[in-house]
């Protein structure tokens, strides 16, 4: 089902960070975004404007005319609102969600053609991202729909994969560790530095190198620091410095133990 | 005390990752490395060869002729061996250590001229690093020695700072969070992916973007994921997936709580 990009009419249900970046990227590649739904008028309108689309804040007013519906809502909202979202939708439209952690079979019995379109990246409102390097994982039941989703994904990214729901779920869990939890480590460091009136910027070369290193070495081989050396003097000194931050102190201890445990496993 | 680089004779006590990278960088910039000590002959010899120096495995044979001694040992070894290391050293030599967590006053009563030369970076044997972007923090009691250390540091790096022992200690603690703990998050993700037979490489774009983001946004503003949204469905699903990894499961829970706590603080 190879078609011209402008022949593919796409509706977005949701206008959060992921939806915004994805819709803009598709629009720039020549796909036709026909409508954006968000329950927040400001979000719906703002994204719609950027991609030359109509907008609505009413689920009942979601267009019945699109060929592809990309649903990108908070996971709980997606599950709750699904019947309402798809009500009255055209039989021949393809529905996909963008969630790492939600299986494809959530669509079962709701619509006839369905799948998943999961760009694995961290999206923030204030930052542009380069879709070419973002791995996109697609899934569907039909060969034809999978091919269609892969074509769309390939227009955006050089890294397009098929992944089952089980694989996507574990990718998402691993992504929480690599991205969300790492960022939280930066955030805790930033809190510490603020307390000691030191600028967070001095950490950036270290953050960059830590990220670059695992392009060449396995993370286990790249591990450095007092926990992997089991340098008790340093560890105890750090725990003492965190005495008035009991939660950070506990985290320090648990993560250090975990580093030591993984380091001593064969 | 401006001198030609080749007039500055430097001895290294220790030949670990930091010492190796630092000695090589100094050598490439024209400083004269006269001797390398390590209790492991292979390490001492290997580094000495790279920087055109003599080597020894005996502390008692550490040269008495150097102008600058750079001591880069595991923290506990440094503390224990200090008297032995400096025994018989020339009165007018300058002694520095390279440890983030060890105060300068460890030298007190041991030698007359002393200080700290702390390059804040993660050093691995198998990876070259670019010293120009590495922040180097120096400390000493005398204006002249501080100036001397800053000149040496500036030959290597564009980011040279003076820092007190207290500041350096908090920098080091923050560095453990940003670097060692982040890397451990990558390592845990790698373990998960191995279990599901997925390649770690798919995580690299996410790791890179997570690091790049905090160049523009504060880490707290950059936080994404189920914990900051407090998406209990996703969190509970992940905890369930980790049921046969109780330690990773506990870490997931604690870090998620910490993210949520920091996210709701004003």
Taking contacts as CB-CB distances below 8 angstroms, the residues of chain A near B135 are 202, 205
Would B5-163 and B169-264 be classified into the same CATH topology? no
* Structural domain boundaries in chain A: 5-163, 169-264
The low-confidence residues of chain A, meaning pLDDT below 50, are 1
Nearest beta carbon to residue A196 from set B167, B196, B222: B167
Cβ–Cβ gap B251/A234 under 8 Å: no
Element containing residue A37 per DSSP (H, E): strand A32-37
Question: Considering only CB atoms, which chain B residues are within 8 Å of A75?
Answer: 226, 231, 233-234
Q: What is the pLDDT of residue A260?
A: 95
CATH topology of domain B5-163: Rossmann fold (3.40.50)
H-helix segments, chain B: 17-28, 41-50, 75-86, 143-156, 165-175, 182-195, 204-213, 219-222, 226-229, 232-241, 246-264
Start-to-end CA distance of chain B, whole Å, equals: 49
Nearest-angstrom CA–CA distance, A182 and A144: 38
Assigned token pair, A205: 């070369």
Query: B90: Cβ–Cβ under 8 A, 6 or more apart, which residues?
Result: B64, B65, B66
Chain B residues in contact with A219 (beta carbon < 8 A)? 183-184, 186-187, 189-190, 200
Torsion sign across C-alpha atoms B73, B76, B82, B85: negative
Looking at residue B3, its pLDDT comes to: 62
**Residue A207 to residue B211, Cβ atoms within 8 A:** yes
The answer to whether B183 and A213 are in contact (CB under 8 A) is: yes
Largest Cα separation within chain A, whole Å, is 67
Q: Looking at CA atoms only, how far is residue B119 from chain A in angstroms?
A: 10
Query: Which parts of chain B register pLDDT below 50?
Result: 1
This model of the complex carries an ipTM of: 0.87
How close does chain B come to A7, measured CA to CA in Å?
31
Residue of B nearest to A233 (CA): B76
The class (CATH top level) of A169-264 is mainly alpha
Whether residue B40 contacts residue B59, with contact meaning beta carbons closer than 8 Å, is answered with no
CB A53 within 8 A of CB A35: yes
The candidate with the shortest Cα–Cα distance to B214, out of A127, A16, A216, is A127
Q: How far off is chain A from B128, nearest CA to CA, in Å?
A: 10
Q: Which of A177, A221, A261 sits opposite B189 (nearest CB)?
A: A177
Cβ separation A224–B169 shorter than 8 A: no
Chain A residues with CB under 8 Å of B234 CB are: 75, 101
> Chain B within 8 Å of A192 (Cβ-Cβ)?
yes
For B:27-56, CB contacts with A below 8 A are none
Backbone angles phi, psi at B66, to 5 degrees: -80, 155
Closest by Cβ to B203, choosing from A174, A195, A238: A174
- Chain B residue whose CA is closest to A214: B204
Q: What is the pLDDT of residue A74?
A: 87
User: What's the gap in Å between the CA of B24 and the closest CA on chain A?
Assistant: 18
Global pTM reads 0.87
Q: Which two tokens stand for residue A139?
A: 């899934």
- Residues of chain A with Cβ-Cβ distance to B208 below 8 Å are 133, 211
Q: Check CB contact under 8 Å for A74 and B229.
A: yes
Of B191, B197, B233, the residue nearest A167 (C-alpha) = B197
């Amino acid at each position: 089902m190879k078609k011209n990009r402008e022949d593919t009419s796409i509706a977005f249900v949701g206008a959060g960070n992921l939806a915004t970046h994805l819709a803009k990227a598709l629009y720039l590649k020549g796909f036709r975004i026909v409508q954006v739904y968000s329950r927040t008028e400001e979000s719906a309108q703002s994204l719609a404007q950027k991609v030359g689309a109509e907008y609505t804040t009413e689920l009942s007013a979601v267009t019945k005319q699109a060929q592809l519906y990309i649903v990108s809502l908070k996971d709980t909202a997606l599950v709750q609102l699904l019947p309402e979202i798809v009500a009255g939708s055209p039989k021949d439209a393809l529905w996909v969600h963008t969630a790492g952690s939600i299986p494809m079979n959530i669509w079962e019995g709701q619509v006839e053609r369905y799948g998943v379109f999961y760009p694995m990246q961290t999206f923030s409102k204030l930052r542009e991202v380069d879709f070419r390097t973002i791995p996109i994982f697609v899934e569907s039941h039909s060969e034809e729909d999978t091919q269609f989703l892969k074509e769309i994904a390939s227009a955006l990214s050089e890294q397009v994969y098929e992944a089952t729901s089980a694989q996507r779920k574990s990718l998402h869990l691993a992504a929480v560790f690599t991205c969300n939890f790492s960022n939280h480590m930066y955030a805790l460091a930033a809190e510490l530095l603020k307390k000691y009136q030191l600028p967070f910027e001095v950490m950036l070369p270290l953050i960059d190198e830590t990220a670059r290193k695992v392009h060449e070495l396995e993370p286990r081989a790249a591990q450095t620091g007092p926990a992997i050396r089991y340098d008790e003097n340093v560890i105890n000194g750090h725990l003492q410095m965190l005495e008035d931050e009991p939660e950070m102190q506990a985290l320090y201890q648990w993560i250090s133990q975990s580093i030591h445990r993984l380091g001593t496993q064969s």
